[in-house]
Amino acid sequence: RKFLAQAGALSLGAAIAAKPAFAQTAEYTLRFGSNLPAIHPLNVRANAAADAIRKETNGRVDIQVHPNNQLGSDTDMLSQVRSGAIDFMTLSGLILSTLVPVASINGIGFAFKDDQQVWAAMDGELGAHVRGAIQKAGLHPFEKIWDNGFRQITSSTKPIATPADLKGFKIRVPVSPLWTSLFKSLDAAPASINFAEVYSALQTKIVEGQENPLAIVQTAKLYEVQKYCSLTSHMWDGFWFLANGKMWNKLPKDLQTIVAKHINAAGLAQRDDVRRLNNSVEVELKGKGMVFNNVDKEAFRATLKKAGFYSEWQKKYGPEAWALLEKYTGKLG
Ligand code: X2X
C-alpha cells in the first residue's frame, strides 16, 4: 500500500513535470543522446540543464534527454548528430577523433598528473585548439568539456599489477585508434567495442577486461561481471557536449545564449559530481566484492616509451598540438 502510494506520488510528479506551467508549446524540440546510464552524473546534470532551459526560454526550447544508448551506440549517434537526425550528444574526444583526429590528444597515456592539470589544459589553449578543429568538422562543441575521469583497468581473470600482466590480455577498448595503439603498445590484445555492448561482452567473456573511470564501473554495474580493479589512471577522458552545427547556427542568438549558459554550468557541476564519485566509490565497489590494487605507473609509461608510442603520436598530431599538450603536462615521452 505504502509502495503504491509512493509510486502514485512519483507518477503524479512525472505528470506535473511533463506539463509545465507555461502554456507555450516548444518551438524547438531537440534530442540529446548519451551512452551512459540515466543515474550517471552526466545525465542527471543534462536533465537539470534541460529543465533550466525550458524554464528560462518559457518553454520555447525543449531538450529531451535520452541516456543509455537509447538513440544508438556512439558510432550511430555520431553519424546522427552530423546529419541532424539528432541535435546533441556527449562524446569522448577519443571516439570523436575518428572524425576530428586531434580530439584524442587528451588521451595520451599518463600525460596528465591530476584534475588541476586537466582543467587548465581543457579550459585553456589545448581545449580551444581542439574545439576549433571540431567546429571545422561541422559540429558545435560547447566550451566546457564534461568529465569522464581517469581510467582504471578491470578484469574478470586477474589483477593487472605490472606491464607484463597485460601481455595478450583481451581488453575491450572504445572505438578509437589511440585506444587501440595504447594497448597494443602495452602488448595487450585490444578489441574495439562500443559502450552499448560492453556489459554483455564482459558477461559472455568475449573479452577479459575493460578500462573506465570508477563512476562508470559503478553506475553501469560492471562490478557484476568484473572481479579485479587495477588503479592505473592510464589516461584522462572527457566528453565534449556537441550540437549539430546547422541546427545550432539556425537557433536565434538569444536562445543560443540561454542554452550555452545552462549547458556549460551543468558541465562544471558535473565535473564536481564525477570527481566526488570517482574518489569515493572504491569502498562501495569493494563491498560488492571487487579486489583493488595499485600499480607503479612509471613502469607502464616506460613500456609505452620503449614501444615508440609517444614519438608515433607526437608525429601524428604535429608540433603545434603536441606543444599545446606539453605546455600543461610538461615534457612527455
Ligand atoms: O565507452 C566508454 O568506455 C566510455 C563510456 O567511457 C566512453 O564514452 C569513452
Task: State pLDDT tens for residues 253-286.
Answer: 999 999 999 999 999 999 999 999 999 999 999 9
Model confidence at 215, in pLDDT bands (50, 70, 90)? very high
Q: Is residue 15 very low, low, confident or very high in pLDDT (cuts 50, 70, 90)? A: very low
**Rounded-to-integer distance, Cα 175 and Cα 137, Å:** 19
For ligand 1, pick from 148, 154, 241, 277 the residue to mutate: most ligand atoms within 8 Å of CB: 148
Q: What's residue 2's pLDDT?
A: 43
d(CA 11, CA 157): 43
Cα of 213 from ligand 1 centre, angstroms: 9
Does residue 10 surpass a pLDDT of 80? Answer: no
Q: Is the pLDDT of residue 22 over 80?
A: no
Closest approach atom of ligand 1 to CA 174: 1
Q: Are 217 and 154 in contact (CB under 8 A)?
A: yes
Using CA atoms in the order 19, 24, 27, 33, what is the torsion angle rounded to 10 degrees? -20
- Residue to probe by mutation, ligand 1, list 216, 233, 277, most atoms within 8 Å of CB: 216
Find the distance separating the first CA and the last CA of the chain, reported in whole Å: 63
When pLDDT is cut at 50, 70 and 90, the band that residue 217 belongs to is very high
Does residue 10 or residue 60 have the better pLDDT? Answer: 60
Measured in Å, residue 166 CA sits from the centre of ligand 1 at 20
Mean pLDDT of 96-105: 98
Task: Give 47 Cα–ligand 1 centroid separation in angstroms.
Answer: 20
Ligand 1: atom nearest CA of 172 is 3
The tens digit of pLDDT for each residue in 49-99 reads 999 999 999 999 999 999 999 999 999 999 999 999 999 999 999 999 999
Residues with CB under 6 A from ligand 1: 35, 92, 95, 148, 174, 195, 212, 216, 237
- Is residue 66 within 8 Å of 124, Cβ to Cβ? no
Name the residue with higher pLDDT: 7 or 79: 79
Q: Where are the beta strands (DSSP E) in 235-280?
A: 236-244
Cell of 15: 505528470
Residue 155's contacts (CB-CB under 8 Å, 6 or more residues apart) are: 169, 208, 209, 226, 227, 228, 230
Residue 8 has pLDDT above 60, yes or no: no
Nearest C-alpha to atom 2 of ligand 1 is from which residue? 195
Q: Would you call 130 exposed, middle or buried from its count of C-beta atoms within 10 A (0-12, 13-18, 19+)?
A: buried
Per-residue pLDDT band for 116 (boundaries 50, 70, 90) equals very high
Considering the chain, what is the average pLDDT of its residues? 94
Atom 6 of ligand 1, nearest CA residue: 212
Q: Average of pLDDT values for 291-320?
A: 98
Q: Residue 20 has what pLDDT?
A: 52
- What DSSP character marks residue 108? S
Asked if residue 3 has pLDDT above 50, the reply is no
Predicted TM-score of the model (pTM): 0.93
Q: 304 falls in which pLDDT band (50, 70, 90)?
A: very high
0.95 surpassed by complex ipTM: yes
Quick one: pLDDT band at residue 24, thresholds 50, 70, 90?
A: low
Measure 27 CA to ligand 1 centroid, in angstroms: 33
